[in-house]
Amino acid sequence: MPYEAGSRECRNLIDAKENIIKVMQSLNELKNLEHIELQLKEIYNELEDLHEIRRSQENE
């Protein structure tokens, strides 16, 4: 893996984001799930925001 997590919290956030991507890929071929895809994207973006905050804190 190219990115080393700086903390356990970062590692957990990375894992959660990767799992969201896997779920989205699994649902990709199913019909009429656009509303779920949008919710998953929102969750992914929230996790990304939390991860960015955590990275900033660790770099201070």
pLDDT for 5 beyond 70: no
Contact 33, 27 (CB under 8 A): yes
- The dihedrals phi and psi of 28, each to the nearest 5 degrees, come to -55, -35
pTM above 0.85, yes or no: no
Quote the CA–CA distance of 60 and 45 in Å, as a whole number: 23
Q: What is the pLDDT of residues 11-57, one digit of tens each?
A: 999 999 999 999 999 998 899 999 999 999 999 999 999 999 988 88
Q: Which residue has the higher pLDDT, 5 or 30?
A: 30
